[in-house]
Amino acid sequence: MRSALFLGCLLLFGTGLRAAEPAAPQWQVASPSGNLVATVRRSADGGAEYAVALNGRPVLDWSPLGLTLAWGDQSKPDAIQRADFASTVDFGAVARHQIADRYIMTTGKKRENSYAANALTVELRDVETGRQLELEFQLADDGVAFRYKLPRQSLLYSWVESEDTGFALGPDGTHWGQAYDPSNAWQPAYEAPWNNGQPIGTAVPAQTGPGWTIPALFRDEHGVWILLHESGLTRDYHASHLAPEAPGGTYRIAGPLASDGLGFGDVRPAMTTPAALPWRFMVISERLADIAESNRVFDLAPPSTAADTSWIKPGISSWSWLTDHDSSKSAPKLKAFVDLAAERGWPYSLVDANWDRIYPNEIEQLIAYADSKHVGLLFWYNSGGRHNAVTEGPRNVMDDRKLRRAAFARLEQLGVKGVKIDFFQSDKQDRIAQYLEILEDAAEFHLLVNFHGCTVPRGWQRTYPHLMAMEAVRGGEHYTFDSLPDFGQLSTTQNSVLPFTRNVIGSMDFTPVLFSKQARTRLTTNAHEAALGVVFESGIQHMADSPAGYAATSADYHRYLRDLPTVWDETRLLAGYPGREAVFARRSGSRWYIAGINGEGAAKTLALDLAFLGKAGSALELKDGAVRDRFYSGQRRLVPGKTRVSMAAFGGFIWVVDTAR
C-alpha cells in the first residue's frame, strides 16, 4: 500500500517569493476545488520529492525530483562546477499564486479553452555551489504539472548532465505504452505498436526499444486514470521519454540516446539562464472522458505567437502516396488527386516525397492546375541534414536556414499552402531547435506545417497555430508494408487505444479512411474506416485512399466526406475503453458528428447518453451491414437520453446530426 499523505492544505496565495517556511517540513498545494493535492518535502537523501492525492487517496507515492547542472570550461574538467539538485539541497523561498487563462485554438478537439490552477514555487539551493533551482507546481482540478526553472546566476552556458524526475505509480494497475523506437535509418519516429494494457512496472523487452514513450496511460488499482506527458518544450531542452524499467512501478524520465540522429548532436541539453525546462504533467481522473477530452498539453504551452491567423485554414487533403508510392514523381498522377480533392470539396492535395524529380516547369503547371480547381497544394521535404541518411528528396534544404527561407519564399510566391517535413530521427536538443525554427520561418511565409517521422506533440499547436498535425504514430501507411506485426491485425486494437493516448496530446496525421485493398489485409469494416475521420483528430486530415477507392462509396458517404470538419468546437467521449471501443461526439457549429469504432472481434451494442443534443432530430447514419465490403447508410431518429447503437466485429458507425434544424 502507498504511504498515507498529510492532506492539510496551505492555501495562502501571494504574488511573489517570500521568506522560507523553515517550520514546515513540507509544502502543499491543492487544485481550485481541493480534490487534488500535491505535497513537496525533503527526501531521505537530502533532495526533494513529491506525492499526489486525489480525494484523499494517494495517486502518486513519494517520487524523486531533481537534476544535476554543470557549467564552466569543458576543455578543463577540473574547472567545471556542478550543482546536484537531487541531493543535499537547502530549501529557500516559497511563492504561491493563482492562474486563470483563456485561449482559442485553430486546430484540435476544442476551440475555446479555459484553464484555472493553483501554483506553488519552492526554491532549492545546492549546498556546495549556492546555485539555485526553482521547482514550480500547478494543480488544476483534473491534473498536476511541474517544471524546473533556472534563474539567471551565470553568464556562462549551463548544461544538464542528468535528471532524476520520477513518477511512483505503485506496483498495481495497468499501463498502456509504446516502446521508444531504437535509432536506425528510419527511426525514432514513435511508430512502434501500442500495447493493449500490461501490468504497471513492466519493463520494455530488450529487443523492442530502449524505453517507453510518452504520453503514457495508466489505470491504478482504484480505477483512477492517469495520462503522463510533457508540454512547453523549447530550444532549452531535449524531448524526453521514460526509462525502460520501472521497478516497483516508479517510472523515470530519460533523454535521447547518443546514437540518435546518426550520432550527431549532444544528449546533454545546454542553455543560458534564465531558462525553464518542459512541464511534466499528469491528467488525473476517475473518468476516462477527462483524459480523452483533455487539452492540458495546450494549457501549459506558451501562448500563440501569431498576430494574424486569418490565413490558417485547416481542412481535408487528398494524398496519392499510400495507394501509389511513385505517384509523386508524376505530374499526371498528381493531377488525378487534385481532381479528387476538387470533386470531393476538399481544400488540399499533398505532393509527397521525390516531387523534385519532376521538371520544374511541370511543378509550376501542377500548382497552376490545382489553383484553377480551387485546391491548395502541400509539398513534402526531407528534414536532413546530417541527422538522417534518407535519400528521398528534396533534402539538405530544411536544415539550412538560408536555403529553407529561400524555399519557403518561393513556395509562397507560387501559391503553395503548406509543407510536410519528414525524417527527424532524433529527440536531441538540436532537432528540437530545428522544429521550432521551421515553424517560425513557415509562419513568416504563410505556410501550414505537418511534421512526419517526428517526435510527439508537446503543445506547439497552441504556440504556433499553423502547425496542423504531427505523425508520431504507426499509421495507415503501414497497410502497404510487408512487415511484422501485421498492420491489418494490429490496427483493429490499436485504433481504439490511440484516442486515449497519442491523439489526446495533439493532432495526429494517421492518414485514415482507407477502403481499397492493400498489401496487408484490412480487418476493419468500411464503417469503422469512415468513423476514423471523426474519432481521429487532425488539423489536416489526409484521406488515404485513391480516386477509385472513393468513387466506390455511396452518395451518403460522399456527402459525409465532403462536409467533414477538421476543427471542432467541442468534443465529448460517449463510451470507450482502450483496446475495446471508442465513441466520440464532436461538434462543429450546430452540427454534431457522433462516431464509434469497435476494436474487438465480436459484435457489440452500447447505450449512449445523447442528452447533450437537447432535442430529437434526424441523423445521417453510416453503418455496418450484412455484406462486409458494402457501404450502408440511411436516416435515423435520435432522441435525447439513452440510445442504443450496434457495431459489427471490428466495425463502426457515424451519425451526423444538425441541431439547427
Domains of the chain, start order: 26-299 (2.70.98.10), 315-561 (3.20.20.70)
Q: Select which of 477, 537, 621, 624 is catalytic.
A: 477
Phi, psi of 293 (to 5 degrees): -90, -5
Encode pLDDT of 336-352 as tens digits.
999 999 999 999 999 99
| Sheet of 57-64, strands arranged across | 26-30, 36-42, 48-54, 57-64, 166-168, 250-254, 241-242
Q: Grade residue 24 by pLDDT with cuts at 50, 70 and 90.
A: very low
Q: What is the mean pLDDT of residues 237-265?
A: 96
- Per-residue model confidence as pLDDT tens digits over 566-598: 999 999 999 999 999 999 999 999 999 999 999
Who contacts 439 (Cβ-Cβ below 8 Å, separation ≥6)? 449, 460, 464, 466, 467
Give the residue-averaged pLDDT of 618-644: 92
pLDDT at residue 655 greater than cutoff 70:
yes
pTM score? 0.94
- Measure the CA–CA gap between 301 and 288, rounded to whole angstroms: 23
Q: What is the mean pLDDT of residues 194-212?
A: 92
* pLDDT over threshold 80, residue 514: yes
Mean of pLDDT values over 227-248: 97
What rounded mean pLDDT belongs to the chain? 94
- From the list 364, 367, 358, 314, the residue with the least C-alpha distance to 338 is 367
| pLDDT level of residue 74 (50, 70, 90 thresholds) | confident
- Give CA–CA dist 566/537, Å, rounded: 7
Per the annotation, the verdict on 486 as an active-site residue is no
- Told to judge if 477 belongs to the known catalytic residues of this protein, a careful annotator would answer yes
Task: Give the model's pLDDT for residue 205.
Answer: 87
Average pLDDT on 421-433 reads 97
Question: Given pLDDT bands bounded at 50, 70 and 90, which one contains residue 184?
Answer: confident
Q: Which three-class secondary structure state does DSSP give residue 143?
A: strand
Query: Would you say 533 and 564 are in contact if contact means Cβ atoms under 8 Å apart?
Result: yes
Name the catalytic one among 84, 230, 422, 529. 422
Secondary structure class of 434 (helix, strand, coil): helix
244-274 burial, b at 16+ Cβ within 10 Å, e below that, comes to: bebeebbbbbbbbbeebbbeebebebbbebe
| DSSP string over 212-239 | B-SSEEEEETTS-EEEEEEE---TTS--
The pLDDT tens digits for 36-65 are 999 999 999 899 999 999 999 999 999 999
Longest dimension (CA), the chain: 77
For position 189, what pLDDT does the model report? 81
- 144-148-154 Cα angle (round to 5): 165
pLDDT tens per residue across span 127-136: 999 999 999 9
What does the block give as the cell for 338? 487534385
Give the residue-averaged pLDDT of 552-579.
97
Cα-based distances in Å from 593 to 13, 445, 465: 43, 34, 24
Q: What is the mean pLDDT of residues 375-380?
A: 98
Q: What is the pLDDT of residue 208?
A: 82
State residue 661's pLDDT score. Answer: 61
Closest by CA to 340, choosing from 355, 329, 327, is 327
